[in-house]
Each structure stands twice: as C-alpha cells, then as structure tokens.
Amino acid sequence: MISPETIAAIRDRVEIVAIVSETVKLTRKGRSYVGLCPFHKEKTPSFNVNAERGFFYCFGCKEKGTAFDFVMKAEGLTFPEAARRLAEHAGITIEETATAVERREAEAAKRAIDDLYAVNQLAAHWFERQLREHPAAKIGWAELARRGLSASGQEGSGDGVRADDALQAFRLGYAPPGWDGLTQFLVQQGVSPVTATKIGLIAPRKSGPGSYDWFRHRLMFAIIDTQGRVVGFSGRVLPDPETGVVDKQSPKYINSPESPIYQKGQTLFGLYQARHAIRQQGEAVMVEGNFDVVSLHARGITNVVAPLGTAFTAAQAKLVRRYAPVVTLLFDGDAAGKKATREARETCRAGGLVAKVAVLPGAKDPDDFVREHGAAALTSALRAAKGILEHLIEAILDEGFVRGDVHERAARVREVVQLIASEEDPTVRAMVLSYADGIAQRVGLPGAASFRLLREAVARSLADASQRSPRDRQSEGAAADAAVPTSSHLSGAERDATPGSGPANDIAPWRARSRDRRVEIGHAMLGCVLDFPDLLNDVDADEALRELEGDAALAVAALAAQQKKGQKAGQKFGPDILEVLAQLPMPIHTFAAQRMAAPVHELREDAKRELFSNALKLKRLGLSRQKAHVVEALHRVERTGDSAAEDTLLREWNRRAREKHGLKEG
C-alpha cells in the first residue's frame, strides 16, 4: 500500500501540464492550456488543461480528471500504477505503509511473481522460434494460410494477406508434437520445474519422475496483459501430422490454467495490441475467438478483443471501459453467439459500457466473413451496429413472430415489454419504444402501426382464441401481461415518446422562456464562483449568490461545503476535484467540468462584477414573474367584481414596484 502521505505529496507536487505534455502538444490560452485530445479523434483542439486546478477536460468527448486520471486513461494504468508513475515524474520517493518484515515479504513475493512473467517470456520466444524452425510447424502455417494469413519467407502460404506484423504483435508460435521439447529448454535455461508447472507450461508425469509439455502440436497465441507481459497461452488444435485429420476428441483450444499472474475472467485477448485503436476510436469490438481478433487485426481493423474461452465478464467490461465507453459485440451468428449477446447486456451495464450489436449477414463468424467479403464490408457491418436493446427487440419480433401462433406472439410481446421496462434510463427507454414501434409496423400484423397497437392486436386475438378454447386459462394471464405495461416506468416512457403530451408542455411558453433565462443566468453566476472559488468567502458576493435557485443554488451550496472541508485539510477546493464535481447536481456536471478546466475570467474583479450584474438580472426576473402573477390575479378578481381584493392586490403591486425601484438605485 502506498501511504496516504505519499499520495497527497504527489497530488501537491505533480504538474498536470508537464504530465499531459508528454503525450499532447499544449499551447497556452488564457488561464489554461489547450491541445488535441488524446482520447478522441479531432482536428481542432478542444482538450483543456488547467494548471492551477490540476484538472483537464475535453469539450469534445467530455473526458475529464486529474493528473492521476490522465495517466490512468492514457496508459491504461490502475491507481497504484499511476501513482508510482507520477511519483517517479515528480521525484517523490514512495512510502509504503508497512513494517520492515512486511516489506521484505512483499519484495520476495514480487520477485516470485516476476519469475513467472520471465518464464512465460522465455516460453513465448521458444514457441515463436518453433513456428519458424520446426519441420512440423508447416501444419501451423497451412492453418494460417487457410485463414488467408501469410508471412514473408513462408512457401505455400498462397495469396493471403501479408500478416507479418499481426503475427508478430500477437506473438504467434508453435508447440511441437514431442513430449518434452519445452520442458528440456526450460531446464537448460535454469527454470525450476515448480515455477513452470505453476503457470501451466509443463505438468508432472503421472507415472514416474519428470515433467511433460502441456501444449503439444498446437498453434500458440500468447496472452498478453495491458502492460505487455505474457501471462499465459492459448493453443489451437491442428490436423494430425500423420493423418491430416483434426482429432474431434481434442478440445479446439487449450488455455493456460489460472495462475497468480493470469485470471481468464479478468483478461482480454488482444487488448494490449488493440488499446491505442480502442482509445482513438472510442470503441472496442468484441469477438468470440482468438483467430477473429488476429484476422481482423491483420486486415486493418485493430480495435478488436475477445474473452478467453469464457463468457464475457463484468471485470472484462470494466477493463474495456478504461479505454473506451462503447463496445460493439460481434459474436457468431449461431445459437451460442445469440445467447452470448443476450447475456452481454447485463455484463456491459455492470461494467459501465454502452453496448451495440453488429450482425454479419449469413450467420458467419467474423473471420469467415472478412475473408469472403473483405475488411470494408466488415467495417460497414460494424457501422450499422444497433443499440443492444434494439437488437434484442428486433430478434424477438422477427419472422418467427409473424409465423408463430397467437400464444407464441403473446409470449414474445411480453418479453419485449419486459426488456423495455428493464431499461433504467428514461431517454433510452423512450427511444427504444419508438424503435419497437418501427418494428411493429414492419412485422405485418393488421393494424399494428405501433408497439402499443401490436400488443393490443395480440391480446385481442388471444382473447378470441381463448373464447374458442376456454380451458386455456394460463395463456390468458400471459395476454393480460402483454396487454398492460408491467411497470409505471414503461407508461412514462410511452407518454414521453408521444410529442405534445408530456408534462413539460403544461408550462406556458413565456414561463418556459423566463425559466430558461433564469437557468442561464444561474450558470453564469456559478461559473464566476468556479473561476474564483474564494468569492464564496466574500460577504457581498454571498449576498448576490442568494438570488440563485434550483441546481445552481445547490451547486454553490455544495461547493461551499467542499471548500470548508478543503480548508480544514489545508487545500483550496476540497481534497479531489472529481470528488467536488461528484457533489454537484447532475445537470450541472458538464458545465462545471468545462468551467474548471477552462476558466472564463482572468481577473477576480471581472468575475465579481459579472456575479453582481447577473444577481440583479435574476432579481428583476423574479419581480416580473411576481408581476405576472399579480396581473393574472387582478384579471380573476375583475371578473368576480371583488373590489376589496382588487385593492389589496394593487397595494401589494405598488410595494413591489417600489422595491424594484430601490433596487435600481442600490
């Protein structure tokens, strides 16, 4: 554990501009620096770095954070890794919270782990050399040629894509058929059999002493972690050297067992090679197999990764999320691939990833498809990817739906209702519902122009059917479920999706305008405080800030609270700028992040002046809002002829007018 004092020292001493400048060319602009964003593709700079705050923000992709976040995102490091990296940069010696004994133990453990990486590295080299030199490796080359991948100096590899770079990047190798080739090599290198066994390269013989190779006559893919270290191997079955036939009994892939350096559910095949492309494109492509990854990579589609012989896990989703917010699932078109797609929805949600689904016509796997149709066709299939909910709804309301009987239709409609209701974000829900409407029109039930009508049509025909066969009580229940939305969320989404009926439309236009204006002014005032947080300690400014309402008022209160906390800890603005941001109301986040990275006012007086003039505007808007209420009330009493009430209102009106006048003088 790095001590909290060390972390605090790093926060204090590290200069974010220096850190960012290592990867981004920055130029000064006002109080901040700007450059081309390293997290998305752009031609004009929208990446802002604020040296005073130690904060960065991109107006394009909205990435933001401290020097820690920058290093973590740009280099895919964990927090402790980023801390070590920054400490080195700032010349800070890392203090660990540990006793001398604990430290010695930790060092010994680290050495043991380093040994495991070193042995895997030796093995990777050996497998690579076998692919080049071993006579039986020609069967491996033939398999690569069958996949349309060729390398220079390999005869018989035909007219495939020149894949030297990809084969090297993925460290393709060959495990020869003998029993102890690798075992002997490792012994020669002075590697202890215990260590090699621990990472599953060799296994002790069951009869008698000695060990044997775990991978035999297989095409070898190195599994590489995000720091470029070989953590394991994945070996693909090859046709028998004698018979030329693939042994059906033998598993298609054998992977390294889990070890202290390899957990399959937390590792993604190809992530190391794909990480820059994933960050640049803001998106990863997830395929099922190792060969898909290598094959797409060799053809220039380089943001591709695959889970390692397991279902896609939440830990893997989080790993992708370190590099990009979006993943496109490109699973095989078979039943297993469809099931994996359905299950990935929850996985992506848990990992904070937006999931899309791309479909390859003809139910092919990506490797088959790209060989047959080329990279451009695959790229356009990726571009046509739909949101995962939309994809799943379309899969339910497909031709099978049209062909199905009324009970099957009811079950499928209910499935769609549940899918839509399970979406938490109301905006997404509304979008998905209107998408379901589109599909409902297409599926071709008479009169089903929207999903609601489709549901009704199905419920009606089910009711007809059950009248004909009244014993079918259970399906009636299903029909009822299908006919009424299963949650209040859904009905909310439906209402929102219909223009002109939402609650926002109850507000008169002038009120909406005045409200927008007040929000805008509130933001401007909040911006002044973000530019100069010490305005919160200014008595006059404090008075002006009392005019704020809504989210801006909440934000100022939260900032003041954070500032108090920060002052106690001897810091200017709370312990961590992201923590400060997290305290602000959601609708303000983007505005506040932008303003913290790129302040508008250079001088405190300017900020203060804008604060006051805006407070005055808010006060006036508040008065005219009251005036409008009074006028409305006057109209009402005029109609009823209540002169006493009219008199009271007029007097109230005058009092407010005087207050407004006094305000103008003040």
Q: What residues make contact with Zn ion under the rule CB under 5 A?
A: 37, 39-40, 58, 60-61
CA distance 353 to 323: 11
Nearer to Zn ion, 354 or 616 (CB): 354
Strands 283-286 and 304-307: parallel
Taking residue 336's Cβ as centre, other Cβ atoms within 10 Å add up to 11
Name the minimum Å distance from CB 14 to Zn ion: 21
Name the minimum Å distance from CB 584 to Zn ion: 21
Nearer to Zn ion, 61 or 230 (CB): 61
Nearer to Zn ion, 40 or 275 (CB): 40
CA distance 381 to 384: 5
Taking residue 245's Cβ as centre, other Cβ atoms within 10 Å add up to 8
Strand-pairing partners, residue 306, are: 269
Name the minimum Å distance from CB 38 to Zn ion: 8
Tell me, what DSSP letter sits at residue 328?
A: E
CA distance 453 to 445: 10
Nearer to Zn ion, 38 or 366 (CB): 38
Are 332 and 360 contacting, i.e. CB atoms less than 8 angstroms apart?
no
Tell me, what DSSP letter sits at residue 249?
A: T
CA distance 129 to 403: 57
* The pair of three-digit structure tokens given for residue 387, joined into one six-digit string: 């949101």
Instruction: Give the position of tokens 């014993």.
Output: 471
CA distance 583 to 590: 13
Strand-pairing partners, residue 35, are: 47
CA distance 239 to 139: 7
Name the minimum Å distance from CB 160 to Zn ion: 37
Name the minimum Å distance from CB 39 to Zn ion: 5
Name the minimum Å distance from CB 59 to Zn ion: 8
CA distance 171 to 165: 10
Nearer to Zn ion, 58 or 224 (CB): 58
Are 320 and 327 contacting, i.e. CB atoms less than 8 angstroms apart?
yes
List the one residue out of 298, 305, 264 whose CA is nearest residue 283: 305
Nearer to Zn ion, 61 or 592 (CB): 61
Nearer to Zn ion, 58 or 440 (CB): 58
Name the minimum Å distance from CB 46 to Zn ion: 6
Are 497 and 452 contacting, i.e. CB atoms less than 8 angstroms apart?
no
Nearer to Zn ion, 60 or 575 (CB): 60
Name the minimum Å distance from CB 79 to Zn ion: 22
Count of positions (residues) in the chain: 666
Nearer to Zn ion, 48 or 267 (CB): 48
* The pair of three-digit structure tokens given for residue 632, joined into one six-digit string: 């409305």
Name the minimum Å distance from CB 581 to Zn ion: 17
